[in-house]
Structure formats: C-alpha cells, structure tokens
Chain A
C-alpha cells in the first residue's frame, strides 16, 4: 500500500476512536465525580452518562450524535517524510470517517447555510499548524467541537486594572449564562493574552491538555485551583440539574501580554469531551496519547 494511503487509514481509525470513546483522563474524572455525587437525581444522571459510555464502546457508535466540527492541531517535523501530504490525508480521512463511523455531517457553508453533507468545506476541517525543526514525526491532537459546548465560548479584552477580579467575573458570568446547556460537568479552558484572538486560541489549547496536568506558570496554576473550587460552588452539574460540582477541571494557559490590555478567552467542553492524540513516526508506526487501546478499537 502507498504510504499516503497508510497515513489516511491511520487517521480514519484515529477519528473513529476519538468519536466513540472518551479520552482516559475524561472518563476517569467522570467516574470520580459520579462517585462523589450525593443528590439522587444527579446520581441517576451520572449513571446514564456511564451507561452511555459503555454502550457507545460496545456498539462502536459515536458517543454523542453531535460529532462536532473536526479540529486538528498538528505538530509536524520538518523531516517527516509525508509532510507534503498531511493536509490531504486529514481531509480525506475526515470524508471517509463521516461515511464509515458514521459522523453527523455538520459543516454548513458560510452565509449560504447549505450543509455540505460530508464534513468538509471551505476552511474545514480546521487545521492549526506547528513546525518542529529537524523533527521526523507527526503529532496530531484532534478536538471534535460540539455545538452545545461551543456556544458559551467567548473572548474579551479587559483593562489591566480590572485584574484577576475582572477575569473571574467574566468566567462566572459565562458559565452562569450558557453553562447548563453545554452539558456540564464542563472542562473549562481559560486563555490569558493580549487580544481577543490570542486569548481565545490559548483557551482552546488549555482544553487540549489532559486533566490532572497544570499550567506551567505558578500563578496560572493557582488561578486554575481557585476557579475550579469557586465554579464548583455554583453546582450546575450534572446537566444543569444541580449537584456538588460544575466542572471536570479548569485549565489556564497564558502568554505575555501588552501592558495596556488583558485579553481573556473562554472555551468550554462538555462531559463527553471528544479529543484524542496520535503520534506517527517516520516509519508510520502510530501510538495514541489519550486513549488506552484495548482489543475493541
């Protein structure tokens, strides 16, 4: 088989796994929260989530009907032999996965609102590129962005004098406003940067990180701990019915910012967070970084 075909097939299976199964860290966190919940309705709802996780795995079907918009975060070594084919393979794999998993065709054309029927279209699948000088492997993070949990996303530039107080108010209000409809407990990503765009991108990077990891910046890590405890006191999970928690975790990513601005981005991801990681070496051997591969997938 041609190498391009091998790479495409690896990516189809990668999309399939990430659509059917939750990443290990997310599933483990749901089990922890389920065991911790005392409210009877809440306990039942966590029971439904766990049953749904099991059924999706047993039937090999997408865990949620909203299989999201496929977003790929690619880090490719400049010496990866198939570097010129990566984009084609991602596009082709998205098409094939839509048919074979199957995924819900979600992509509607900008302005025209016509569904393309195959999950590809102008600017989609979304691909974010990073080059690794002298590297010879390909590393991809996939995030399937569902509609319900993309809806709360926002980004705003505060004045620096508003400080962390301003950041926290913005986060509380965002979670209060649309959190219930985003299928909590939520994975909340906060990005702190200069402008609306860089902050939003950092907030997306934050949710790509595994639960249990922390912001490298000590103050960022402290903000994660504080916001997680504070958001949990609102108690919107599970699913807006109310309980002991609101979030799976809060992740913060930050970058140096302009002295006159404090950009804040917020990205939320549902309890059924679909993300995956794959590393493919120059010999096209693949390994998953977020899913333990059992016999079934």
Chain B
C-alpha cells in the first residue's frame, strides 16, 4: 500500500521513515532553488503567503504556462540537484521549520545533521521524470518572487500522491546517497589499483 504524507507535516508522520522507503505527498508543495535560498538566507526574506512550518519544499524549476486568464499550468516539473543548496540548507531548515525536502540526488553531512536535529527528511524524486511530476500537481495556488524568473520563482502548488519519493535522509540523520557514495568510491579505488 502507498504510504502517503500529508501537509502540514508533523514529526510523528515522518519519524519512523527509513532511508530507502518510498512515500508520496498530498497537500501543499512549494518550489525553491538557488536564488530562493539566497533570498531567504542572505536577504532574510520569507515568502509572504506560504507557511513553511511543517511544509514540503521541492528543489525544482518547473515550466509553467500562464493562460490568457492568468491561471497557471505546470507543463513539466522534475527535480533539480539538491546538492547545490547544501551550503545553506541546514540553516534554512532551522529558520523555516520545513519538514520535507524533495530534490534530485542526495545532500551532504550538514543537511543530514540538520534533519536529525530539526526532525526533517530529504527525499529523492526520480531525476528527469518531469511529466510524471507535473501529472501529480493538481493546481498552482500562487507564485511569489517571480522577479527571479520562471525557474527560480517560489511556486506554491497543491499536489496529490506526488512521487515516488525515496527517503534519502531520515530523521535519524542516516544518508542513503552518502552510503552509496562510499560504496562507489571504494569501487573507483579498486579500478585505480588495477591501472
């Protein structure tokens, strides 16, 4: 059976999830990537109409079409590389109370420690599967920071069974991609020894 997480996300909902588990998200989801993180951390500005506390944040820069009546349609919306946000994400989690990060690939030690400290998780959405993602977005509710451009704007959306989301950092701070990276590095070491 599908494990579904709903927003606002409580610690209770996610505390027993383990790395490698697959979950889906129903509720509110906002996109935020490089420039959005810069805005929150350096300019100390928060989005005005979206409650980040207990929220889910998607590292993504979607293609959104604006209709003649001003309504938005998400055309294509796969994840972007989460690791680009590593330098600021730990502090970001502390500052905003976000409980679920979603992106491509994993994140590093600082974010894993912050997930443990603040009771949050990181999930990987399969990279490049942008139409599957767009298909699970029911509507765009709002957009903030559109001055940053389509990809970097803070899009606020309603999603239904958004996923698959594979838990890559759990609330204990376990880190699936860090474990994988260790195994990959050992295999590279073996290759080098054979040269």
Chain A interface residues (CB < 8 Å from chain B): 41, 44-45, 48-49, 51-52, 55-56, 59, 61-67, 102-106, 108, 114-115, 117, 147-148, 151, 165, 168-169, 172-173, 176, 180-181, 183, 230, 233-236, 238-242, 270-272
Contacts and interface: CB of A to CB of B under 8 A. Distances in A.
A114 B148 CA distance: 8
Given A41-B20, A62-B63, A64-B78, A48 B177 contact: no
A240 B135 CA distance: 24
A241 B128 contact: no
Contact of B129 (A48, A61, A165): A48
A172 B192 contact: yes
Nearest to A53: B131
Contacts of B77: 65
A180 B82 CA distance: 11
A236 B76 CA distance: 25
Contacts of B65: 102
A176 B183 CA distance: 10
Contacts of B133: 65
19 contacts: A41-B20, A49-B129, A52-B129, A61-B76, A61-B131, A63-B128, A65-B63, A65-B75, A67-B76, A104-B151, A105-B151, A172-B192, A173-B188, A180-B105, A183-B104, A233-B190, A234-B191, A240-B124, A241-B180
Contacts of A64: 76, 78, 128, 130
The main secondary structure of chain B at its interface with chain A is mixed
A114 B75 CA distance: 23
A151 B130 CA distance: 19
A169 B185 contact: no
B1 to A, nearest CB: 16
B26 interface: no
Interface string B78-96: 1011010000000000000
B80 A148 contact: yes
Contact of B106 (A55, A238, A240): A240
A239 B124 contact: yes
B164 A66 contact: no
Contacts of B191: 168, 172, 230, 233-234
Given A61-B76, A169-B192, A169-B195, 7 more contacts: A45-B126, A62-B130, A65-B78, A65-B134, A104-B63, A168-B195, A180-B105
Interface residues of B, number: 47
Contacts, number: 149
Contacts of A169: 192, 195
B132 A61 contact: no
Contacts of A48: 126, 129, 132, 164
Nearest to B183: A242
A165 B132 contact: no
A16 to B, nearest CB: 13
A186 B105 CA distance: 14
B105 A106 contact: no
Residue of A65, A148, A168, A271 ringed by the most chain B CB atoms within 10 A: A65
A233 B188 CA distance: 8
A278 B188 CA distance: 39
B116 to A, nearest CB: 21
A3 B139 CA distance: 42
B40 interface: no
A165 B194 CA distance: 10
B180 A242 contact: yes
Interface in B145-169: 148-152, 164, 166
B127 interface: yes
Contact of B149 (A51, A117, A165, A235): A117
B184 interface: yes
Interface string B108-131: 000000000000000010111111
Contact of A63 (B83, B126, B130, B151): B130
